[in-house]
Amino acid sequence: MEKEETMTTFNLELNNKPNKNGLYNVQVRITQDKRHKRIKTSVYIKSRTDFNANAKNDNWIRKNEPFHVRYNAMLVDELIKAKDVYQTLKADNKASLENIKSTIVSSETSGSFLEFTKLRTTEIYNQGNYRNSKKYNTLRIKLEKYLETLNKSDLLFSEITTGFLTKFETYLRTIENTRRKDKALLHNNYVVKLLDTFKALTTNYLKTNDITDKLNPFDNFKIAGTTPTHKIKLSITEIEKIETLDLSVNSPIWHSRNCFLFSFYFAGIRAADVLQMRWKNLTSERRLRYQMDKAEKFKDFNIHDKALELIKLYKNDAAKPNDYIFPFLDSNADYAQANTPQMIATLSPELKVKLLNTVNSKNTLIDKYLKEIGGLVGIEENLTMHIARHSFAKRAADLKISNNINKSLLGHSNLKETETYMGDFSTQETDDAMSTIFSYGSDPKAQLVSMIKEMDIEQVNILIEMVMKKAK
C-alpha cells in the first residue's frame, strides 16, 4: 500500500514576545503532522496590531505601518523561498520538518559569509539597530575590497581561516586613511574594531547555522589591543577664556560655545545627549535628570550656579517641556516625539537613521564653530565637543576628586574605564564634587572652602596655626 503523503503547510505568524528594542518579529511557521517549526524573517514591527494573521492578497502588515508595502513584499519573498526549498526536498523524499528548516536557514547564506553579512545587516537594521548595521556594512565593504585584490568576488565561511584573518589584518593596516589626511594609514584602534566586528559576525554565523562541531576561526587568532590615544584637555584658564569670549548673541557660534559649556558644566555630557536635552529634563528641584543615549543610564545632577546662568539664556515662556533646549534640532520634527532612548528604539529604521544623521551633522557643525572659537582664544589643537568631556575629567583629577566619584559623574560602566579615561553613588557625593569643581570664578569665601577641601590634614593644620598666629 502506498504511503499517504504528509501534509506540509506554510504560514506567517507574529512572535508575541518583543525583542530588547520592543519590536515584534514576523516568523514563517512550517506545519507538518501537527508539529511546527518557526523561522525568523527580516521583518520587525512596532505594534502587534499592525500584523494581520488572516491577511488576504499578501497584506499581512496593515497600512498603519508606514513601510507596509515594503514589508509585505519581503514576506512574500521569504514565503516563496521556503516553499521552493520544500519542493526541492520533496522531490528527493527528504522533506522532513527538520530538513526543511535547516535547509532554509543554510540556503539563506549558501555558505557565503558575504551573503550572511548582508542578511544580518538588513535584519538588525530592520530591528532598529542602526549603529551595528553600519558597522557590519563597513566590514563587508572592507572585505569586498580585500577580495578584489585576490580576484575573488565571494567569501565562503570555510575559507575564513587563521591564515586568512592574518592576511586580512595585514591588508587593513596598509589602507590609506581617507578621513584623516594627517594620518597616513588606518589607526590601530579602528583596525581592532573592524576585527572585533568580524569576530562577532562569525560567532553569529556559527550560532545561526547550528555549527557546533567547527571551531571558530577566531579561537586561534589574537586580535591586538587598542592603543591609548592622546586626549586633549583644557585648563581651567582656557575654559574661562571660552566663557568670557564676546560672541554675537543667538549666532550659530554663540550656540555652539554654549553647548560646549553645557557639556562641561554637567560632567562632560556627550554631544548627542546635549543636542537632545529637553526642558522636561530640568526639574523644579533645580536638578538635571536625563537618560544617557549611549548607555541608557540615568543621570541626576544638581544645577550649579554656572550652569543655571547658561540655561537662563534659553529659557522662555513659550518653551514646552518636550522642546529641545538648544536650537540645533527641530522640536516639531517627526522623530522628536520619541523623547527617551526606549521610545527612539521603537522608531522606524528610516526615522532612527534620520535622527542619528541629523545629530551627527549638527555635531559636525558645532565642532566647526568650536574650532573657530579655539583659534580666537589661542587653543592650537582642534576644539571639539568631546574635549568638554576630557576637560571635565582633567578638572576633577586636578582637584583630586576620587575615581569612584568620577565614574559616577562620567557615566562609565566600570572603574577601569574611568581610570583609563583619565555602580552608582549617592547624589550628595556627586553634588559636593560638582560644587568643588565649578567653584572657580566665585566669591573668595567659596574659593577658600574649595582650597581647604583640596588640602590634606597636615596642610590644614599648618593653615590653622598660621591663622592663630595672625589672630594673636
Inside any domain, residue 472: no
Three-state SS for 127? coil
Residue 346 lies in a domain: yes
Q: Both 341 and 359 in a single domain?
A: yes
Count CB atoms within 10 A of the CB of residue 472: 4
CB atoms within 10 A of CB 69: 12
Domain presence at residue 328: yes
Residues 204, 100 share a domain: no
CB 359 within 8 A of CB 329: yes
Q: Left (φ > 0), alpha (ψ -120 to 50) or beta: where does 273 sit? A: alpha
Same domain membership, residue 421 and residue 311: yes
Cα separation of the two ends of the chain: 120
Q: Which of 208, 197, 201, 209 is nearest to 172 (CA)?
A: 197
Q: Which of the listed residues 187, 220, 253 is the one where a domain comes to its end?
A: 220
132 vs 291: CA distance, rounded Å: 21
Q: Do 323 and 416 belong together in one domain?
A: yes
Q: Which residues form the domain of 126?
A: 113-220
Burial class (CB in 10 A: 0-12, 13-18, 19+), 258: buried
Decide: helix, strand or coil at residue 84: helix
Give the number of other Cβ atoms within 10 Å of residue 5's Cβ.
8
Q: 389-417: per-residue pLDDT in tens?
A: 888 887 777 666 555 554 545 554 454 55
pLDDT score, position 3: 47
The answer on 131 and 69 residing in a single domain is no
Residue 425: its pLDDT value, please?
37
User: Considering the domain boundaries, does residue 455 fall inside one?
Assistant: no
Q: Is residue 229 part of a domain?
A: no
CA-only gyration radius of the chain, Å: 29
At residue 255, the pLDDT reads 97
Last residue of a domain, one of 220, 249, 276: 220
Would you state the pLDDT for residue 182?
A: 58
Q: Provide the β-strand partners of residue 300.
A: 289
Q: Could you tell me if residue 277 is inside a domain?
A: yes
One domain, residues 429 and 310: yes
Q: Which residues have C-beta within 8 Å of that of residue 355, sequence separation ≥ 6? A: 333, 335, 338, 344, 347
How many helices (DSSP H) and strands (DSSP E) are in the chain?
Answer: 18, 5
In a domain, 468, yes or no: no
66 and 123 housed in the same domain = no
For the domain that residue 273 is a member of, what is the CATH number?
1.10.443.10
**391 and 249 assigned to the same domain:** yes
The structural domain count of the chain equals 3
Q: Does 151 share its domain with 245?
A: no
Cα 226 from Cα 175, distance rounded (Å): 18
* Same structural domain, 134 and 183: yes
289 beta partners: 300
Identify the residue whose cell numbers are 547564506: 109
Tell whether 358 and 286 lie within a shared domain. Answer: yes
> Do 321 and 422 lie in a common domain?
yes
Give me the half-sphere count of Cα atoms (radius 13 Å) on the Cβ side of residue 82: 24
In this structure, which amino acid lies at residue 16? N
Percent of the chain with pLDDT strictly greater than 90: 40
Q: What is the pTM of this model?
A: 0.63
Question: Considering 220, 252, 285, which residue would you say is the last residue of a domain?
Answer: 220
Give the closest residue to 25 by CA, choosing from 131, 126, 136: 126
Whether 460 maps to a domain, the answer reads no
237 neighbors 362 (Cβ within 8 angstroms)? no
Question: What pLDDT, on a 0 to 100 scale, did the predictor assign at position 412?
Answer: 43
Q: Which residues of the chain have pLDDT under 50?
A: 1-3, 406, 408, 412-413, 415, 418-426
